[in-house]
A = this chain, B = another copy of it.
């Protein structure tokens, strides 16, 4: 059973409104938003990843879900598997301390279990946040006519992974994007009054945009040439269509994808300027379904793989 099929089954029993039909990044319970993400060795991180980076990623991917709801993090619960390597565990705790301090988030509790020898490490984190007073934006609020935006740049982490695997020469920006993703908490909080829908880009820009379109019951049209790529990425990849499609399907970006009325553009640019992080309009929403890619004024076929499904 695929992840998608399994979630479809769970949807049959997750009928409480707080579950948002399991279509959203987080559950919303009163004024709290709640998310739980797991990462598994060999699936979400490399067996030779630095434990400090694993801790960082575990926290960052969950805080990124809170960022997409404009939430203020209140705390986390850790689910940890002990695999019998004291040095690794000690380095993980040090890394956990670093990332929790960086974002000012307390560790509240959790559980620790021993796992059988040779089993892959598996970690879970639950992050709890305070929803914004105006309510947490969902994925499903896109309206035809909205502009579609993304924060920061896309594709750095995908190139960073290739660097980690020794496939290409490393540069610090892309490696850091892969090893130490930055959840856009401040950006997300500031955007709340201006967006109709928001989510984070975790599995790939295209697959996540498709999910947003499906949840909203509309079409999302993306202009491939406007997808923002970093100078660090373009230093190692040519600026051609393949590079752009690779970036838009690589995942692990942890940027925010959001939809807003075109009238909100000035406010959004002002917020971005204040934070010194780009916000780039990359398309718009229309009546229809799914995503459509435009490249140089021509509609192009979707790549076979839109992103990761774990």
Contacts and interface: CB of A to CB of B under 8 A. Distances in A.
A38 B113 contact: yes
Interface string A246-275: 000000000000000000000000000000
B115 A16 contact: no
Interface string A111-123: 1111110011010
A18 B89 contact: no
Contact of A124 (B1, B18, B36): B36
Interface in A88-132: 89-90, 93, 96-97, 100, 106-116, 119-120, 122, 124, 126, 128
Interface string A66-88: 00000000110111111010100
Chain copies in the assembled complex: 2
A93 to B, nearest CB: 5
Q: Which of A39, A77, A84 has the largest number of chain B CB atoms within 10 A?
A: A77
A112 B6 contact: yes
A13 B100 contact: yes
A297 interface: no
Given A115-B122, A122-B115, A107 B16 contact: yes
A74 B29 contact: yes
Q: Which of A3, A26, A78, A108 has the largest number of chain B CB atoms within 10 A?
A: A108
A34 interface: yes
B29 A81 contact: no
A3 to B, nearest CB: 5
A75 to B, nearest CB: 6
A26 B110 CA distance: 8
Interface string A33-68: 011111110111000000000000000000000000
Interface of A: 1-3, 6-7, 9-10, 12-16, 18-20, 22, 24, 26-27, 29, 32, 34-40, 42-44, 74-75, 77-82, 84, 86, 89-90, 93, 96-97, 100, 106-116, 119-120, 122, 124, 126, 128, 310
